[in-house]
Chains A and B, each alone.
Chain A
Amino acid sequence: MTPSPSPLRDLLDRAGTTGAVYAALAGVLVIGSLFVAFQGSHLFTAANTVDLFTRGSLLGFLAIGQTLVILCRSLDLSVGYVAALSTMVSAIVMAGDPSRIVLGIGATLGLAALIGLVNGLVVTRLRVNPFITTLGTGLLIKGYLDTRFQGPAGSIPAEFQTFGLSRIGVLPVSTLVMLALAVLAILFLRRTRMGFHMYAVGGDSEVARLSGIRPEIPVITAHVLCSMTAGIAGLLLASRFGTGNTLVYNNGYELEAIAAVVLGGTYLLGGRGGVAGTMAGVFILATLDTVFNTLSVDPFVKDVLRGAIVIAAVAVYARGRHGRTSVRPRFTSGGAPPAPPPPPPPTATPSARGGDR
């Protein structure tokens, strides 16, 4: 290796966004605990920690899937509705019978995958704006749920409720499952061709196409996986409630998931980011929720903050993105005009000087 600034710059860059998000998470934790301490209580009590992790697990599932979709330069606004539908499907199929747990999980995830497939096909084949597509499927599901069900239905067997309710120490089982899924997703994005192609399609689908990638495939895959994670979120909710509940969709999960993804440093326009950052985003939001709860802040203030945080995060990233242009200056700008014999393009670019003889 020649002494060149590239590796260092690269290291900083890699650590850059994700590192910053984790630093922000640490900051939120510290500031949050200070605030709580001023109120005379303690943020890291067992109850609070469990609360934090529990919140994190649900949001985490949704955000993992949303990360994949956003990386492909798409978007999924239907996840809240898919989760609501999944609580119903799982509770009704399981019908309180432990022997039907596997069937219930299968039916739930299968249906979710189907919805994702529809989303993906409509986006890629019919070329409908993903925002509109998933809004449309979301409304369709909502219409179905509201028409078909008037209230909670079905029943989750106690055995499956352990998924939502039991924990090891302060770590809920659901959080462990979520973290395991996150690790899988990270591996998927970093170590599989499909993961690589998701970045490529999100970055520039034309470049991907010219490299022999069929751009539809990663987009459809991402939508299927995203809906399936929403299905898992639905399973988790059902196991916590013990029944299916349609009103889940009122909780604005899709926006919270997008907020977590964007906070985690994934570009809304695709091609850059990852699940590791998203996890930090998830726990920032979960920490804020827990802190607000401990401080008994009005729940509506959380909405205000959530909205402000998402806008601010996207604005900050938009600024960063815009700073770089690929235009190579031919002449140094500003300052006094250079003397007639112009300075040769200076040594500013250590660049392609490679193999300095």
Chain B
Amino acid sequence: MTRPTRLSPGALSSALRGGTGTVAVLLTLIFLVIAVQNPSFFEGPPLMAFAKKAAPLVVLALGQYLVIVSGEFDLSVGSLVGAQVVIAARLIDGDEASTLPVIGLMLLFGLVVGLVNGLITTVLRVPSIITTLGTMLILFGAVRYWTGGAPTGALSEGFRVFGRHGLDGVPVIGQLPWALVIAAVLTVGAVLLMRSPYGRSLMATGDNDTAAAFSGVRVRRVRTLAFVGSSLAATVAAILIGGFAGVTAQVGQGLEFTAITAVVLGGVVLGGGRGSVIAAVLGALTVEALFTLFNQLYLPSTIQPAAQGLIIIAAVAYASRRGDRRPPRHARRRPVHPNDRPLDPSRR
């Protein structure tokens, strides 16, 4: 009668339901097409180059995953990446010695932005779309105002190591990019985080914040920390992108949407409470692989947004068809009974 420890079928099916399976299949397919087009792609160095290029998006997707899983959005990450790169260039200004202090400062700045996003969303009950759209505009304007429109200064070599270089002399692959190491470490960290008490509280909050609050979860704090995580991830991504691509006025533009596309493609349902870290990472890799494929097919890079647009709609439509019985997010606003005051410690 009792089968409390039969494990396998549930685990497998829940992994598939989480979207990990679907996105893994998709990624494999794209890789196959790439391999057919360009057999040398998997020969080590080209693969590592791909990894180097994909690493920032993976990191961003990890941060966005935290926020989306808690039931919110973070649209400020693109602007934040741009702002951080510009800040780094201006403050470092080619001076090797100030590399580490400036990186510290950037992390601090990321922390503050995350706190502001989180607190405005949870305490002032501003929908996170608006909050982060607002901070996106503010960061965009403030940084350009500060630099007088165009980015000034220069990054140091020490700063660019993370995005550009790696551990040389590794057999087979030649060079192990630091970016890949950082993305892998953060991925493992995120997996562990989601298995920690905090991660489980975050997941429960995204699923049902009332039930979470009744279970003693500090919903506001948990959500705010997710925003902080996202902003810190954006900071790390900024370090990688700055190193990889250098400083331009356009750095970071549209990255928030690419990150959301990646996470959504990984099957992490908008509205929170579902999806795995691995799925989000696979989603990021898939988006990046798709862009690589476009390049190989000599498609203009301008088609990327169109592909992104299609993917994001299709992925969400697919998720909402896939037996997701949850009513639309804002189905009913009022409590069921006049006597019922739902314990809703956050916004809405």
Q: Do chains A and B touch in the complex (CB under 8 A)?
A: yes
Is A142's beta carbon under 8 Å from chain B? yes
**Which residues in chain B, 288-334, are within 8 Å of chain A measured between CB atoms?**
300, 302-310, 312-313, 316-317, 320-321, 328-334
In angstroms, Cα B304 to Cα A83, docked, is: 20
* Chain A proximity mask over B114-129: 1 for CB below 8 Å, otherwise 0: 0000001000111101
Q: Is chain A's interface secondary structure helix, strand, loop, or mixed overall?
A: helix
Flag if B138 contacts A307 (CB, 8 Å): yes
* Chain B proximity mask over A284-323: 1 for CB below 8 Å, otherwise 0: 0000000000000010111111111011001100110010
Flag if A147 contacts B302 (CB, 8 Å): yes
Count of interface residues, chain A, beta-carbon cutoff 8 Å: 52
In angstroms, Cα B310 to Cα A141, docked, is: 11
> With A262-B130, A315-B124 in contact, do A135 and B329 touch (Cβ < 8 Å)?
no
- Please give the distance in Å from B347's CB to the nearest CB on chain A: 7
Is A13's beta carbon under 8 Å from chain B? no
Q: Give the residues in chain B near A159, CB-CB below 8 Å.
A: none
Flag if A132 contacts B264 (CB, 8 Å): yes
Flag if A310 contacts B317 (CB, 8 Å): no
Q: Give the residues in chain A near B133, CB-CB below 8 Å.
A: 255, 258, 307, 310
Q: Give the residues in chain B near A303, CB-CB below 8 Å.
A: 137-138, 140-142, 144
**Which residues in chain B, 26-58, are within 8 Å of chain A measured between CB atoms?**
none
| Neighbour of B306 across the interface among A127, A143, A300, A306, CB < 8 A | A143
Is A325's beta carbon under 8 Å from chain B? yes
Flag if B306 contacts A142 (CB, 8 Å): yes
Q: Give the residues in chain A near B307, CB-CB below 8 Å.
A: 143
**Which residues in chain A, 125-164, are within 8 Å of chain B measured between CB atoms?**
126-129, 131-133, 135-144, 146-147
Flag if A206 contacts B347 (CB, 8 Å): no
> With A127-B320, A136-B310, A206-B332 in contact, do A314 and B127 touch (Cβ < 8 Å)?
yes
- Please give the distance in Å from B30's CB to the nearest CB on chain A: 18
Is A327's beta carbon under 8 Å from chain B? yes
Q: Considering only CB atoms, which chain B residue lies closest to A306 in the complex? A: B137
| Neighbour of B134 across the interface among A75, A128, A301, A310, CB < 8 A | A310
Is B176's beta carbon under 8 Å from chain A? no
Is A260's beta carbon under 8 Å from chain B? no
Q: Give the residues in chain A near B328, CB-CB below 8 Å.
A: 127
Is B136's beta carbon under 8 Å from chain A? yes
Q: Considering only CB atoms, which chain A residue lies closest to B135 in the complex? A: A307
Flag if A311 contacts B120 (CB, 8 Å): yes
Is A4's beta carbon under 8 Å from chain B? no
Flag if B300 contacts A137 (CB, 8 Å): no
Flag if A318 contacts B347 (CB, 8 Å): yes
| Neighbour of B313 across the interface among A133, A268, A304, A322, CB < 8 A | A133
Is B270's beta carbon under 8 Å from chain A? yes
* Chain B proximity mask over A322-352: 1 for CB below 8 Å, otherwise 0: 1001111000000000000000000000000
In angstroms, Cα B231 to Cα A170, docked, is: 47
Flag if B309 contacts A307 (CB, 8 Å): no
Is A252's beta carbon under 8 Å from chain B? yes
Is A34's beta carbon under 8 Å from chain B? no
Is A223's beta carbon under 8 Å from chain B? no
| Neighbour of A311 across the interface among B73, B126, B257, CB < 8 A | B126
Q: Considering only CB atoms, which chain A residue lies closest to B333 in the complex? A: A204
Is A57's beta carbon under 8 Å from chain B? no
- Please give the distance in Å from B325's CB to the nearest CB on chain A: 12
Flag if B126 contacts A315 (CB, 8 Å): yes
In angstroms, Cα B335 to Cα A252, docked, is: 37
Query: Which of A75, A139, A268, A302 gathers most chain B CB within 10 Å?
Result: A139
Flag if B330 contacts A269 (CB, 8 Å): yes
In angstroms, Cα B317 to Cα A268, docked, is: 23
Flag if B131 contacts A311 (CB, 8 Å): yes
> With A205-B331, A311-B131 in contact, do A126 and B320 touch (Cβ < 8 Å)?
yes
In angstroms, Cα B328 to Cα A301, docked, is: 38
Is A73's beta carbon under 8 Å from chain B? yes
In angstroms, Cα B323 to Cα A331, docked, is: 45
Is B6's beta carbon under 8 Å from chain A? no
Is B3's beta carbon under 8 Å from chain A? no
In angstroms, Cα B149 to Cα A205, docked, is: 46
Is B2's beta carbon under 8 Å from chain A? no
Is A217's beta carbon under 8 Å from chain B? no
Q: Give the residues in chain B near A50, CB-CB below 8 Å.
A: none
Q: Give the residues in chain B near A298, CB-CB below 8 Å.
A: 145
Flag if B145 contacts A304 (CB, 8 Å): yes
Flag if B312 contacts A135 (CB, 8 Å): yes
| Neighbour of A300 across the interface among B125, B145, B313, B338, CB < 8 A | B145
Flag if A135 contacts B330 (CB, 8 Å): no
| Closest A-B pairs by Cβ, 7 of them | A143-B306, A303-B141, A139-B309, A307-B137, A146-B302, A140-B309, A307-B138
Can you give 18 contacting A-B residue pairs, CB < 8 Å?
Answer: A127-B317, A133-B316, A136-B310, A143-B302, A146-B300, A147-B302, A147-B303, A204-B332, A204-B333, A205-B331, A268-B127, A269-B348, A303-B138, A306-B141, A307-B141, A308-B138, A310-B137, A319-B124
Starting from the known contacts A315-B125, A322-B125, 14 additional A-B residue pairs (CB-CB under 8 Å) come to A126-B313, A126-B317, A126-B320, A126-B321, A132-B260, A135-B257, A139-B306, A301-B141, A304-B138, A304-B141, A308-B134, A310-B137, A314-B126, A315-B120
